[in-house]
Amino acid sequence: MSYYLNSENHLDPGPIYVRENGQLHMVNLALDGVRNSLQKPRPFRLFPKGFSVELCMNREDDTTQKEKTDHFIFTYTREGNLRYSAKSLFSLVLGFISDNVDHIDSLIGFPEQIAEKLFSAAEARQKFTEPGTGLRALQKFTEAYGSLVLCSLCLRNRYLVISEKLEEIKSFRELTCLDLSCCKLGDEHELLEHLTNEALSSVTQLHLKDNCLSDAGVRKMTAPVRVMKRGLENLTLLDLSCNPEITDAGIGYLFSFRKLNCLDISGTGLKDIKAIKHKLQTHIGLVHSKVPLKEFDHSNCKTEGWADQIVLQWERVTSEAVKPREPSEPRKAAQHFYGKRTRTETPVKCPLADTHMNSSEKLQFYKEQVPDCHGPLLKREAVSSQESKKSKRAFEEPEKEQGNSSQSSKQKYVCLAVEDWDLLNSY
């Protein structure tokens, strides 16, 4: 023991205890040899020479190390010291389930508060951007919580997101507002057919500005409402502006939207505008607005819900996938030699998007008895007997041309052409 304490090659071992007669006694350090050895100053060293430490946090190449460090939270104190604390059991379970969220069978009946945290944890891990697994995970949430996941969706000028994430977009249910402006969908796009699905019967605001639509697309979109009273029957706001292929015949299909309060058909291929104004006022009570309506400035439609950040993640992933590659140095030199410039894609702007456009060129309609287009429909109240008679005459005149007033009014919306039957059989 004395050799160990007097040795220069060892550190101070601290207090020494000796067991005598079944009891521990500390050795008296006042011994001459021990005191002399402890009085010599030695440099304090926490670890021996050659000792190194490596802090591994979430290393992808070492799953075992990740499992060890993922259970701790590392923070710094005010003094600059590294401090770690263990995560709660709830956080560990939440992280494990979010990593395997695509294997969940069902979330129906699961508490909404916990489901929102689980959704946020999976969203932070970007599980919904993964192909295949992201779609299955999103469907589990949408079928259980509906509008809580997403109640309003704005995909304006995001045609790349629609083409890459079409199935994910179709999984959203109970949407009330959908903005598909400037996406160039056309009449035969799959998403346009999905609009007539029963899952989107809750849509009240639909923006289809600048989508290359024609009369055929409008007929397809309104066929379930005209025949089976389903689909977009609850629509109160519709934007069909900047679709020059929509003519007077296509506007006639819109008369089946009995709850429509706001309509924008600016920039369409109408020929007899005066007759269209009269028909809209006669059939569904829409009056031409002399000033631009604020309902069509695209400020009310925003992406709202649990999945609002997922749409941004989709947009970032798709933009990175189609980003043009940087040319190599020899290619740059060749382009410089031949005087070629690299093409820069400019964002495509929607026509008629200028705010300083003349209000006379805009064909926007609204209902006078409904001051707020987003509020519930108010019952019509006759102001005077003369106005009631005028409105009655206006409704009876077009019905007399077809025959009996009572029978013709029913047959006016029930009688179908051969094209309508073919269209309904295609659903």
Q: CATH no. for residue 290?
A: 3.80.10.10
Residues 306 and 157 in one domain: yes
What is the model's pLDDT at position 346? 44
Which residues are within 8 A (CB) of 23 and not within 5 positions of it... i.e. 6 or more apart?
none
What number of other Cβ atoms are within 10 A of residue 157's Cβ?
18
393: alpha, beta or left? (left if phi > 0; alpha if psi -120 to 50): alpha
Domain boundary residue among 283, 313, 343? 313
Q: Maximum CA pair distance of the chain?
A: 129
Look up tokens 């007097």; give the residue.
6
Please indicate, yes or no, whether residues 160 and 305 belong to a single structural domain of this protein: yes
Q: Are residues 105 and 176 in the same domain?
A: no
What's the pLDDT at 320? Answer: 83
Do residue 187 and residue 129 come from a single domain? no
3-state secondary structure 230-254: CCCCCCCEEECCCCCECCHHHHHHH
Q: What are phi and psi of 27, to 5 degrees?
A: -70, 135
Per-residue pLDDT, 422: 63
Residues of the domain holding 258: 150-313
Question: What confidence score (pLDDT) does residue 421 get?
Answer: 59
Rounded CA separation 390/156 (Å): 42
In a domain, 350, yes or no: no
pLDDT in the model for residue 23: 77
Q: How far is CA 231 from CA 60, 203, 235, 325, in A?
A: 48, 9, 9, 44
36 within a domain of the structure (yes/no):
no
- Per-residue pLDDT 10s for the chain (427 aa) are 444 444 445 556 667 777 777 777 777 655 545 455 545 555 555 555 555 555 554 444 544 444 444 666 667 777 777 777 777 888 888 989 999 998 999 999 999 999 999 999 999 999 999 988 899 999 999 999 999 999 999 999 999 999 999 999 999 989 999 999 999 999 999 998 898 888 889 999 999 999 999 999 999 999 998 888 888 999 999 999 999 999 999 999 999 999 999 999 999 999 999 999 999 999 999 999 999 998 888 777 789 999 999 999 999 988 887 766 555 566 656 555 555 544 444 444 555 444 444 555 789 999 986 445 444 444 444 334 444 444 444 444 444 444 444 444 434 444 556 566 565 566 5
Q: Is the dihedral of CA 59, 64, 67, 72 positive or negative?
A: negative
The answer to whether 162 and 155 are in contact (CB under 8 A) is yes
Distance of alpha carbon 305 from alpha carbon 120, whole angstroms: 11
pLDDT score recorded for residue 70: 62
Residue at which a domain ends, from 254, 288, 313 = 313
In terms of Cα–Cα distance, which of 239, 223, 219 is closest to 231?
Answer: 223
pLDDT of residue 274: 93
